[in-house]
Amino acid sequence: MKTTRICLAAICAALALSSCAKTEKAPADTANKLNVTVTFNALKEMAEAVGGAYAEVSTIIPDGVEPHEFEIKAQDMKALSSADVFVYNGLGLENWVPKAIEASGNEKLIAVDSSEGADPIALEGDEAIEHGLYDPHLWLSLKGARIQTRNIATSFARSDPAHAEAYAKNADAFIAELDKLYDEYAEKTKAAPSRVIVTGHAAFGYLCRDFALEQNSVEDAFATGEPTAQQLASLVDFARAKKVKTIFVEKMASPAVSRTLASEIGAKVVAIYTMESAEDNKSYLERMRDNLDAICASLIE
């Protein structure tokens, strides 16, 4: 992952200049809404589900940009300087967050680590040394999204107590949809003859834990670098031994290597969503269902 560099002097200067500019009055329909900033798309959808009519949600990391490699810039700080709530994933994904919060100068800002209370999956070896202790991909798990949604609702109620009941009800409704999806696919995966999936990068560890599946991947959890010839050969042997017929590929994680692997073992390549960006005009729940459908299909081939 690229090293994040934040120039505090440049950021503060940019904020000072922006504060001198004339500010337009917010539209009547958004003037009294909770101003929420999140890091990427999956969290945006959770925040919107919780906030409903009472929150306006924006993202810092643009669609199409890999969160593992994002570098915050001065212009990204404007949203934080005026936000009421800032939601980030945690688990080492956004290592620039503490400095960004400090540089924002926003004393009213409530920052919420949406992974708080989760049971994290530990990283091992060089990956742990370079990136931190844990796999950050909690949002790709239905149980993980449940925790994140509840943490978001708690932070909204803290910032806007007048609508705390609405936030709690909205969170309950979204979590009910997550639970319904989990129950449906827990039954399907339980009956599947295979327990193994192979992915472009190791982003689905929490989802696999949800359903007692095993993940093996072309790249590690932080999608850093392509496998060596020896590692790829080992993955080929694994896939053949497990009779893997599908290689799952994500847009931003070594699709060429995944296709090479698929060709080597005679498997097909199937796209899977990581939900870091908005994709195909589909909601979080729709994309999660698509992922689970594809995974279940691969387990019975």
Please determine whether the domains at 8-15+26-182 and 193-299 fall in the same fold group of CATH: yes
Residue whose pair of structure tokens reads 């709690």 in the numeric block: 168
The pLDDT value given to residue 129: 61
Query: What is the pLDDT, as a whole number, of residue 130?
Result: 66
Given this model, what pLDDT does residue 9 score?
Answer: 41
Is the distance from CB of 181 to CB of 288 less than 8 angstroms?
Answer: yes
Q: Are 298 and 245 in contact (CB under 8 A)?
A: yes
Contacts of 98 (CB under 8 A, 6+ apart): none
For domain 193-299, the CATH class is: alpha beta
Q: Which residues contact 33 (CB under 8 A, 6 or more apart)?
A: 51, 53, 54, 55, 56
* Mean pLDDT per 10-residue section of the chain, whose length is 301 residues: 40 40 40 93 98 97 90 87 97 94 95 98 75 90 98 98 98 98 96 94 95 90 73 92 94 76 94 94 97 97 87
Q: How many CA atoms lie within 13 A of 120 on its CB side?
A: 20
Q: What is the pLDDT of residue 133?
A: 87
The CATH H-level superfamily of 8-15+26-182 is Nitrogenase molybdenum iron protein domain (3.40.50.1980)
Domains of the chain, by residue range, sit at 8-15+26-182, 193-299
| The pLDDT of residue 201 | 84
Query: At a CB cut-off of 8 Å and minimum separation 6, what does 264 contact?
Result: 236
Rounded distance between C-alpha atoms, residue 75 and residue 72, angstroms: 8
